Amino acid sequence: MGPLLLAFVLAVLAWLLVVGDLVRRHRPAWHWYLTGYPAAAWRVVFTWRRVALLNDLAVSRLPARTLVGHLLVKGDPVRPVAPRISFPRATRMGLSVVVRLHAGQTPATYMQAADALVHAWKVHAVRVTSPERGLVLLTATATDPLERPGLASAPAELLSALIGALETGGAWVMNLRLVPHWLIAGATRSGKSTLLARLITQLAPQPVALVGIDCKGGMELGLFTDRLSALATCRREAVAVLTALVVDMQDRMNACRTAGVRSIWELPDKLCPVPVVVLVDEIAELYLSDGTRQSKAEAEQCSTLLLRLAQLGAALGLHLVVAGQRVGSDLGPGVTALRAQLGGRICHRVNDPGTAEMTLGDLNKDAVTVAQAITAQERGVAVCTGPDGGWARARSHLTPTDEAVATARKYSGMTPELPALDRALVALEGDGK
C-alpha cells in the first residue's frame, strides 16, 4: 500500500506541475491569481515595516531633540511608526497598495524608495502615484507585461489608430482627433519604423490623405507610395509640399469663416475637406544646414511651415506625425518651438539623453528616466503620453514590412487626390530641368 500511495502522490504532483505550466503559459492572469498573488501579498504585509524603516518612510512620534536637565540632547528619533497600508489588492498582473501618509510626508519619498520595494516584494516594477491628498498608491506589476503583449482591441474611429498594447494590458491608441500632433523619437532598430508602418496600415482603410516627407531618399515611406497622396524625398521637395499644405490650410480657414464655424468638423459633409496626416521621417534632415545660403533658407522655410501647420492645423484637419532618431535643441530654436505644439509624445530607446529629455522632459521627468532604461532587446517598447496628460510604457504590435506594403497597395484606391501638392512637385521638377 505504501508504494502505491507514493506513486499516486507523485503522479498527482506531476499532473499539477504540467497543468500549472500550461496555465502559466496560456492563462498568465489565472496563474498569477492562484499562485503569484498570495505569495506577493504575504511579502508586502510582512516586509512593509522593515522596508519603511530602512527607506525613511517611517516617522517617529517623539521629537529628535529633548531636554535632559540643562542639556539639549539631539539624536535619531526613536520608536518610528510605519505608515498604515491597505491590504494588497490583486490586479490582473500585479497588486496595488494604498498608503496613508504621515503628516509632512510627500509622495517624492516613496518614489525614491520604489527600487527598494521592487526588491523586497520581488516584482518587476512599482509605480508610485497620488490619487488624492494624503494618500499614495503603490502599483506593482509582477512581470513585464510588454515582454509578450497580447493583441489589444479598440473601436474603429476616424483618425484613430490602434498601435499596440499598454503596460496595463489596455489598447495603445493614437487618436488624432484628441491629440492632433505627435512627436516620435527612437534610435535605429528601436521600433520607430515599425510603429510608423503600423500607423499607416491603420490609417490606410480610412478616408484620409497621407502625405510623406522622407529626406532619406524615400527609403522608409517610399514603400507605401501606393497609399500616399504625395511624397517628398528631399528637403527641396519638402518645402514645396509644406508650402502647398499651408496654402490649402488657408483655403480651409476661408471655408470655415464663410460658413461661420470654428473647424472643418462643423461643416456640412459635402463641404468638409478630406483630413490630411503628414508623416515626417527623420526630422533632423529638415533642420540641418551645410552652411550655404540656400541650405539655410530651406531649413528656415521648413521650420516656419511646420510650425504654422502645428499651430493652426488641428481644427482644419491637418495633422503632423514627426519622427526622428535625434531631436535636440542643437537643431535650432525651431525644433523647440515645434515640440511645444506636438502634444503627443512617443520615446523609444534613444542613443543620447538629450533626445529623451527633449521628447518627454517638459511633461514628466520620471518618464525620461523610464525611457532611458529601455534596452536594445526591447524593440517596439516606448514611453508614450496619453490624452489625460499621463504617461505609460507601451509596445507596438509587430507589423512586418511586406504586410504594411500589401495593406497600402490594397487600399490604394482610397488615396485622395491633392492637386495642389501634385502641381507643386511637378513645378519643382520643371524648375530642376
Q: How far is CA 1 from CA 11, 14, 15, in A?
A: 15, 20, 21
**Average pLDDT of the segment spanning 313-328:** 91
Strand partners, 97: 138
Instruction: State the pLDDT at residue 366.
Output: 78
Considering the entire predicted model, what is its pTM? 0.80
Of 277 and 156, more confident: 277
Of 65 and 126, more confident: 126
User: What percent of the chain shows pLDDT beyond 70?
Assistant: 86
C-alpha cell at 46: 510582512
Instruction: State how beta strands 59-60 and 80-81 pair.
Output: antiparallel
Instruction: State the pLDDT at residue 433.
Output: 46
Confidence of residue 228 (pLDDT cuts 50, 70, 90): very high
| Rg, the chain, Cα only | 28
**Average pLDDT of the segment spanning 218-239:** 92
Write the CB contacts of 199 (distance below 8 Å, at least 6 apart in sequence): 161, 163, 174, 279, 321
C-alpha cell at 313: 492645423
Instruction: State the pLDDT at residue 78.
Output: 61
**Average pLDDT of the segment spanning 419-429:** 81
Instruction: State the pLDDT at residue 364.
Output: 77
**Average pLDDT of the segment spanning 232-250:** 92
Contacts of 153-161 with C-beta under 8 Å, sequence gap 24+, read 158/206, 158/207, 158/208, 158/275, 159/203, 159/206, 159/208, 159/275, 159/277, 159/319, 160/202, 161/198, 161/199, 161/202, 161/203
- pLDDT mean across residues, the chain: 85
Instruction: State the pLDDT at residue 315.
Output: 92
Instruction: State the pLDDT at residue 431.
Output: 64
Instruction: State the pLDDT at residue 125.
Output: 84
- For the ranges 56-70, 273-287, 363-377, 404-418, the lowest mean pLDDT is seen at 56-70
Burial of 103 (0-12, 13-18, 19+ CB in 10 A): exposed
